[in-house]
Structure 1
Amino acid sequence: MKKIFTLILFLFLLSNLYANMNRQTKKYIRNNYASFENHIYLIFFN
């Protein structure tokens, strides 16, 4: 369980770093991050 929360926290911190990028790149990353986050939920919380 601890690994899961560590991974989610890491992804959250990583997404904050991406906030410094330009708008188009940030939009692309946000879409992929959301799909990846949903993938994590499907694996661990289903």
Structure 2
Amino acid sequence: MLASNPRFSSPEGRGAILSKFFLEELLKENQNTKERFLKRKQIVFSS
């Protein structure tokens, strides 16, 4: 499916798209982890 998309046909294009997607996912995951950590800290401090 992805191979039929011209952007995915070249290794450079595929790599760039994958790394961009990976970085965005990593940033989102980082943000979620930070928020969870802060919430947990707030719960610990408030109790």
TM-score (norm 1): 0.50
Write 1 or 2 for the structure with the bigger share of helix.
Answer: 2
- Give the structure with higher Rg (CA): 2
Q: Higher relative contact order at CA 8 Å, sep ≥6: structure 1 or structure 2? A: 1
